[in-house]
Amino acid sequence: MKIALVTDSTANLSKEEIEKYNINVLPIPIYIDDQEYLEGIDIDSEKLFETQRNGAGFPSTSQPKMGELIATFDRLKDEGYDAIIDICLSSGISGSYSTLMGIAQSNPEYKLYPIDSKITIRLMGYLVLAVAKMIEKGTYTPEEIVAKVEEIRDTVDELFVVDDLNNLSRGGRLSNAAAFIGSILNIKPLLTFDGPKIVAYDKVRSMKRATKRIESEAIEKMKACGIPEDKLRVLIIQSNDAKQAEDAMADIKAELPNAVYELDEFDPVVATHLGEKSLGITWMIDVDQMEF
CATH number at residue 74: 3.40.50.10440
- The CATH number that applies at residue 245 is 3.30.1180.10
Between CA 227 and CA 191 the distance in angstroms is 22
Compute the distance between CA of residue 192 and CA of residue 175 in angstroms, rounded to an integer: 11
pLDDT at position 181: 55
Residue 241 CA neighbour count, 13 Å, CB half: 21
Indicate if 7 and 149 belong to the same structural domain.
yes
Q: Do 92 and 118 contact (CB within 8 A), yes or no?
A: yes
At 176, the pLDDT band (50, 70, 90 cuts) reads low
Lowest mean pLDDT among 122-126, 156-160, 167-171: 167-171
What's the domain range around 174? 157-289
- pLDDT score, position 186: 74
- Residue (of 102, 107, 89) closest to 26 by Cα position: 89
Question: Could you tell me which residue, 85 or 38, shows the higher pLDDT?
Answer: 85
Q: Domain boundary at 153, 183, 216, which?
A: 153
51: alpha, beta or left, given left = phi > 0 and alpha = psi -120 to 50? alpha
Indicate the pLDDT class of residue 53, thresholds 50, 70 and 90: confident
Instruction: Note the pLDDT of residue 44.
Output: 83
pLDDT score, position 183: 55
140 and 174 together in one domain: no
Question: Hey, what amino acid is at 272?
Answer: T
Residue 15 domain flag: yes
Question: Which of these three, 153, 182, 208, is where a domain ends?
Answer: 153
In this prediction the pTM is 0.92
Closest CA to 285 of 220, 227, 217, 236: 227
**Per-residue pLDDT tens digits for 89-131:** 998 888 999 999 999 999 999 999 999 999 989 999 999 999 9
Of 153, 186, 209, the one marking the end of a domain is: 153
- Please give the tally of structural domains in the chain: 2
